[in-house]
Amino acid sequence: MDKKEKTIKFLGTLGTVIAIIMFVALLEIAWANLKGGSHIFIQPMMVTINCSVWSIYAYLKKEQFVFWANFPGVLLGIFTVITAFI
């Protein structure tokens, strides 16, 4: 297995793990909603990281559909994280 194939396999595995963490991060939102709080940033931060990994993976694999399905999540995730601190 060459370096590119190892990188692609690593990114695919990393993306899967991050996707699971992303859904677990939703617990923070539920807790904040129960308390009436706001300024949630962990969930959108994980969305940004996850979508970034999947976008890189799709770019390396030349999977345009996967890339374009995830790339908006990068932009929207960054925007949401920023708005959590405004």
The answer to whether residues 41 and 82 touch, using CB atoms and an 8 Å cutoff, is no
Helices (H) then strands (E): counts for the chain: 4, 0
Q: What is the rounded CA–CA span in Å between residue 44 and residue 56?
A: 18
Say what the pTM is: 0.73
pLDDT tens track, the chain, 86 positions: 899 999 999 999 899 888 888 777 767 767 776 666 677 788 889 999 999 999 999 999 999 889 998 999 999 888 888 888 87
Residues 6+ positions from 54 with CB-CB distance below 8 Å? 15, 66, 67, 69, 70
